[in-house]
């Protein structure tokens, strides 16, 4: 039996949260999703609720505590995929320096958006969950 992929989505835009959740539901994996709407809430979820995610999907432009600040302050052992609508070469370089595994510009096309979330789940999430599966 394969355990659910624990995924932390750190995103402040409700529309993007709904699109990400919809895309995740289309994947053939069991996924448990935790949502934080800002960097402070994400830190709280990781520290207070003892969530140990297999994957973090992180926006950069967040209220209270930005994505880069979250990366600098958190001690996430899981892959962190930056998924942002406002990319810049500086942001990309900084995110990778702070430990992000991948940096992706959010597609504007719905089909491509869904496909990209699926690829993130297969590339980063499913691999971690398979490593923790039990027989």
pTM: 0.89
Query: What is the rounded average pLDDT for all residues in the chain?
Result: 88
Phi and psi of 96, rounded to 5°? -65, -40
Higher pLDDT, 21 or 49: 21
Are the CB atoms for 103 and 79 separated by under 8 Å?
no
In the chain, the N- to C-terminal Cα span, in Å, equals 6
Instruction: Determine the average pLDDT of the residues in 118-130.
Output: 77
Place 124 in a pLDDT band, splitting at 50, 70 and 90: confident
Q: What digits encode the pLDDT tens for the residues 79-93?
A: 999 999 888 899 999
CATH number of 5-130: 3.40.50.2300
Q: What digits encode the pLDDT tens for the residues 27-78?
A: 888 899 999 999 999 999 998 877 889 999 999 999 999 999 999 999 888 9
């Amino acid at each position: 039996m394969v355990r659910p992929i624990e995924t932390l989505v750190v995103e402040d835009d409700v529309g993007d949260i709904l699109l990400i959740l919809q895309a995740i539901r289309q994947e053939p994996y069991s996924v448990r999703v935790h949502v934080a709407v800002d960097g402070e809430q994400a830190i709280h979820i990781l520290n207070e609720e003892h969530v140990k995610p297999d994957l973090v999907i992180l926006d950069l432009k967040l209220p209270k505590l930005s994505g880069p600040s979250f990366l600098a302050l958190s001690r996430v052992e899981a892959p962190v995929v930056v998924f942002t609508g406002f990319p810049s070469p500086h942001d990309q370089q900084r995110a990778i320096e702070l430990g992000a595994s991948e940096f992706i510009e959010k597609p504007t096309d719905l089909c491509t958006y869904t496909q990209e979330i699926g690829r993130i789940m297969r590339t980063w999430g499913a691999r971690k969950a398979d490593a923790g599966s039990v027989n």
